Amino acid sequence: MNELHMPTFPLDGVRLIEASAGTGKTYTIANLYLRLVLEEELEVPQILVVTFTKAATEELRDRIRRRLREARDRLVRGALEDDGDLGTLLRQAAGMPEEIGNRLELALADMDEAAVFTIHGFAQRMLTDHAFESGAPFEAELLGDEHALRRAAVEDFWRRRFYDAPDADVAWAAGEWGTPETLYTQIAGLLGRDAARLLPADAVGEAARLAERWQTLYAAARAAWGASGEAVAETLRASPALNRNSYKPKTVETALDAFAAWIEDAAPVPGRLPERIDLFTPDKLAAATRKGQETPTGTLFERCGELAELAPRLTRARRAALLAEAVDYARGAVDEHKRARSLLSYDDLLTRLDAVLASESGAALAARIRARYPVAMIDEFQDTDPVQYRIFSAVYAAADEPPPASSASAPSGGAAQLGLFDGIAEPDRREGRSGKAESGEEAELAAANEHSEAVSNAAWASRSRSVALFMIGDPKQAIYGFRGADIFAYLAARGSAAEATYTLGTNWRSSSALVDAVNRVFARREKPFLFEGIEFHPAAPSPLADAGPLVVEGVQPPPLACWWLPNGGDKPLGSGAAKAQAAAACAHEIARLLGLAATGQAAIGDAPLAAGDLAVLVRNRYEADEIRGALAAVGVASVFLARESIFATPEAVDLRHLLRAAAEPGDTRALRAALATDLLGADAAALDALNRDEAAWEIWLDRFHGAQQRWREHGFMPMFAQLMTDCAIAHRLLAEPDGERRMTNLLQLAELLAEESGRRRGFEALLRWLDERIADPDGDDEQQQLRLESDESLVQVVTVHASKGLEYPLVFLPFPWAAKPFKTDEKPILFHAESDLAACADLGSEAREDHAKLAERERLAEDLRLLYVALTRAQRRVYLSWGRVAGAEASALGWLLHGASGIAGRNDAALRDELLALDGGAGRLALLDLPSGAIRAPAPPLPAVQQARHFAGRIDAGWRVTSYSGLAAGHGERAELPDYDAVAAGDTAAPARPQRDAFAFPRGAQAGLFLHALLEKLDFPEARGETLAQAVRAGLALHGFEAEWQPAVEALIGRVLDTPLDESGLCLREVTRADRRDELAFYYPLAPLGPGALNDLLARDGALALDGERLAFNPLRGMMKGFIDLVFRRDGRYYLVDYKSNHLGDRAEDYAPPRLAEAMREHRYDLQYLIYCVALHRHLRARLPGYDYARDFGGVFYLFLRGMRPADGPRLGVYRDRPEPALIDALDALFAGGERAA
């Protein structure tokens, strides 16, 4: 291992540079670039720089440009004797200062032509610029991703494989996977990894052989059962040789019944055994044989033993075979689909270039690429994979050979591999995924096609310069295995370039104390990153490491701070409790620091500590939510940054519903789904209210019809902007605690959809594209990655993956003990073979358990690398938490602190001692107790107050839409909502009663909503038995009630339907669908109305004595609206019904007339039903020829559902009234303006 010294680093050959965190990787690349321009006299288009993301290409291009400019400016000033790398590099440059200056000026002028690409951009440029050599299609369309194609291919495989398959195969597939979506989920990671070696190698053949063996044994067992079944049964039932504790009569009969059904099955599922077949096996019989007795034997027992042994092997083999078939079919189907349509994915760019370089014409193409780019620098090389590595290994194989004058004179044969790829197995196929494309890449690739070849072969031949390949990265920061990066490809490269490996050893990011602390953490183990080839070399602090120290309350705190999480007992602390404690401690400390900073007691150098200086690193969104909730609780605002896809957010799903309604406004279900989203905010009650409010429903219909027309005529964005305004979406979202985050997500989605709408015609095409992205979100796509929701200096909550490459003065790592050990379930096991480092996928081999251990080792190794990334983001201090937490032994920090023996058997004192051993008395670690006491972060300064404009217009406040609720509440503006259950605030839970009956059923709006919906759904005459049971069961589940309420609700509904409503015996059970209207909505005009006239009329003619209570509301005019629960017809008369689920008591007598009258007065239900009566009166008068109120109106029933009993008739739970015709006429006239309205 060589320490890299920039002025003397060789500029030829193949060299590996390992740049630990904070050691200046990008700075090194910029300096190497400068040296290539100054010393090798290379022009900018000749130097290839490859990285893995679009954002990284822009950063590298900018840093290189700045370094060239700095060199040019230094040269102009004549400051060549200054200390530092730049002065040294300028002094050793070849030529006179004027010549050097010209080279720098030319390089700066050419920077727009700099060959700084993503790996996919480079591959496409090579394929298109050398189309004849590569055989690349000229008119191929670039495909953003293949997820939708892969899913469709798996669905097609499922159809072909099972739709016409034997019943036994269908039953087996249904039991194993259920749906093609489950199958797709299990193999999705293999459809882009053709390099993965599938195990077992001959899964299909092995399954066929085992299935044939199974059929032979099964047939033999069936024959033996037919010949000796009765004797076998008698042996199991009564043999004195068998211990009856193992062969209990009930157990034996169960086993015999199951065995008989299984052995006589016309279509048995291969590998599936009957219950308790072990009772038929020789091993079980031998184990249960009494001492001194002879074990029962027989052909059937022998066959059953063989079947029992074979079954798990066959089941595993059948699964593996099916998975292998599905993978092979899906890969082929996707390839054929792309070939037929001239499509190329980003991965295809790499695999095609790889294939061409390995072909007979590969040497010629490699030579031409070397001629064009004699020097290549591969950034972030730890994130490479086998295909990418093979490409550069092939191109830069012949380090000193100039290219031929033309491709015709090129030597034949494949390119040598420099020995670089000796450690990586070749794949069986070339079409696999080789890495994830980055967002925004299509623009880069298009620009790449316009870039002409800058170096001619003649120029090359005249200079005969050597070739160089610099691979720059840090294996300790290889954390992107989930997106195709392969650390083992890096290890192979490192092994081949062992003598030409260099390190950057100075940490320019962190304080000297923190550098030492991190060194101590990873130096505890001989191989802290588990694998050979990933070494840890302690970093050295820079000379400027301690400039601008962190000072809190006058002292410089230790660089590591760790909260101890007490478990409070013998058992480990649960992870949920640990997360809550750690999150609260983290938030408390952040609030404390910000409070101190506000008073000048917390600073970094001369600058007060700011919220933007603090970062909390988490593994996923769930941990982020925990932290952000804790921060909000102490008044600290935060932002969230993650490499997560915008299409994986709730806003994406909500927007899909919104756009579906805009595309199909006539689809009632789609519109209701849109209304139920958080974007439009309609809850169940509001949706239910719309059922009864035709005018309100028409408003929404008109709004979405308008959106559809605007979308069609003006495009997506004008439609979206109008919906945002019309529906007050921004106002609604920003009122939420995480409103900025949600609003940012929504606007980002809109931008992506607007951009995509230019490439797709029609609503359906765009919606299908959105559906595909939601089904397969890609967090690696830069365009899809979540944006920061605020530019303010706020505390940053960042995933560890997103933090890579970033730095923060203070870092909080609250959950370092959280881990997810590898689970050996039925999914393929991805691992690397120890023999040749080849990527493998175990679909169900005999060595599955051993392979699972390898996968777990790789999981721990990647977690160790993630921990390294997290700890090295900080400049001044890192906060952790630790303790005896459940599962901590599987974590990276647990392994580093406590080794392979883990935490088991250690008490808190031992664990604390091992933690403190990190410090060794050096003052690097502060072990903290959890904070106590309430705290609140200081409020941020208020923004300047803006003066609202003065409104000089006039608003007619008198005209409005009102309802019973508005008049009774005293203001007349309240919207009409179903008053399902009048209860005190918060009184929604069921009382503590031992029985489950109508009185104990939960109270509140949700209970009322459920009972109303149930009664609306039921066909009263048919609502019995299973019909009623199914409706109740579905309703309970839909509205979130426990299934245990089923009997009570069924009984309640039965009583409601069968209770006579009057002395004639009239009951709801007799009302058919044809004679009823549920949730009847109404609007009718309302003339100017004041409380005086209405109060006088009710006091004079109303049915209830109001004890002096009078209505008080502002005079109004406009429209009266409402919803009548039920109107039914019987014997030519029309009746009005309102269901009340109010809880009036726990005894039947609590629902007697006096108590009902009291409830009616309390809630002014008399006003409600009089308003309803006027509505029905006007409706019948308009629709019923010869209508006469006295003859045609039957009356009002207010049904207090909990108290109704058929035996008690209308005496309990039924409030009845039939307002006098004069009262209804007077109200009708009053509402129409026929009487004094004041």
Q: Over 50: is that where the pLDDT of 1087 sits?
A: yes
Give mean pLDDT, residues 356-380.
Answer: 91
* Percentage of the residues of the chain whose pLDDT score is greater than 70: 88
Q: Which residues contact 227 (CB under 8 A, 6 or more apart)?
A: none
What digits encode the pLDDT tens for the residues 485-528? 788 888 888 877 767 889 998 999 999 999 999 999 999 898 99
Q: CA torsion sign, 496 to 499 to 504 to 505?
A: positive
How far is it, in rounded angstroms, from Cα 478 to Cα 796? 23
Assign 564 to helix, strand or coil. Answer: strand
pLDDT score at 522? 95
At 1102, is the pLDDT very low, low, confident or very high (cuts 50, 70, 90)?
low
Query: What are 171's two structure tokens?
Result: 């039953």
Q: Over 90: is that where the pLDDT of 853 sits?
A: yes
How far is it, in rounded angstroms, from Cα 277 to Cα 289? 17
Greatest CA separation for the chain: 118
* Percentage of the residues of the chain whose pLDDT score is greater than 90: 51
How far is it, in rounded angstroms, from Cα 637 to Cα 631? 7
Which of 192-206, 853-867, 1060-1074, 1188-1202 is predicted least confidently?
192-206
What digits encode the pLDDT tens for the residues 207-257? 999 999 999 999 999 999 999 999 999 999 989 989 888 999 999 999 999
* Phi/psi of residue 883, nearest 5 degrees: 165, -175
Which of 423-432, 1039-1048, 1083-1092, 1117-1126 is predicted least confidently?
423-432
How far is it, in rounded angstroms, from Cα 72 to Cα 1152? 98
22 in a labelled binding site: yes
Q: Over 70: is that where the pLDDT of 460 sits?
A: no
Q: Over 60: is that where the pLDDT of 453 sits?
A: no
Give mean pLDDT, residues 32-49.
Answer: 94
283 in a labelled binding site: no
Give mean pLDDT, residues 1209-1222.
Answer: 94
1092 in a labelled binding site: no
How far is it, in rounded angstroms, from Cα 685 to Cα 682? 8
How far is it, in rounded angstroms, from Cα 852 to Cα 12? 42
819 in a labelled binding site: no
pLDDT score at 1170? 93
pLDDT score at 809? 97
In order of 243, 702, 770, 771, the CA distances from 655 in angstroms are 66, 19, 9, 11
Which of 307-321, 472-486, 1045-1059 is predicted least confidently?
472-486
CB burial of residue 625 (10 Å; 0-12, 13-18, 19+)? middle
Q: Over 90: is that where the pLDDT of 148 sits?
A: no
Do 583 and 630 form a contact (C-beta atoms < 8 A)?
Answer: yes
pLDDT score at 470? 94
What digits encode the pLDDT tens for the residues 623-648? 999 999 999 999 998 988 877 788 88
pLDDT score at 957? 66
Question: Radius of gyration over alpha carbons of the chain, in Å?
Answer: 39
pLDDT score at 419? 37
Q: Over 50: is that where the pLDDT of 200 sits?
A: yes
* Higher local confidence (pLDDT), 444 or 865: 865
Which of 637-641, 965-969, 1134-1138 is predicted least confidently?
965-969
Give mean pLDDT, residues 1006-1019.
Answer: 88
Q: Over 60: is that where the pLDDT of 316 sits?
A: yes
pLDDT score at 83? 59
pLDDT score at 943? 59
What digits encode the pLDDT tens for the residues 52-109? 888 889 999 999 999 999 989 888 887 666 657 787 888 877 667 788 889 999 999 9
* Phi/psi of residue 377, nearest 5 degrees: -120, 125
Q: Over 60: is that where the pLDDT of 1213 sits?
A: yes
What digits encode the pLDDT tens for the residues 590-614? 999 999 999 999 999 999 999 999 9
Q: Over 80: is that where the pLDDT of 185 sits?
A: yes
Give mean pLDDT, residues 1179-1197.
Answer: 94
pTM for the model stands at 0.69
Q: Over 50: is that where the pLDDT of 1169 sits?
A: yes
20 in a labelled binding site: yes
Q: Over 80: is that where the pLDDT of 762 sits?
A: no
**Where in the sequence numbering do the catalytic residues fall?**
1138
Query: What are 1003's two structure tokens?
Result: 């109270």
Which of 243-252, 366-375, 638-647, 1131-1140 is predicted least confidently?
638-647
Give mean pLDDT, residues 475-484.
Answer: 82
25 in a labelled binding site: yes
What digits encode the pLDDT tens for the residues 863-908? 999 999 999 999 999 999 999 999 999 999 999 998 877 777 778 8
pLDDT score at 292? 87
Query: What are 639's two structure tokens?
Result: 């932002």
pLDDT score at 779? 67
362 in a labelled binding site: no
pLDDT score at 410? 33
Q: Over 50: is that where the pLDDT of 171 sits?
A: yes
* Higher local confidence (pLDDT), 996 or 653: 653
How far is it, in rounded angstroms, from Cα 1082 to Cα 1121? 5
Domains of the chain (ranges, CATH numbers): 2-55+114-140+344-504 (3.40.50.300), 146-341 (1.10.3170.10), 518-642+793-830+851-928 (3.40.50.300), 646-775 (1.10.486.10), 959-985+1073-1232 (3.90.320.10)
CA-based nearest residue to 13, from 499, 607, 525, 699: 499
Across the chain, what does the average pLDDT equal?
85
At 459, is the pLDDT very low, low, confident or very high (cuts 50, 70, 90)?
very low
pLDDT score at 81? 67
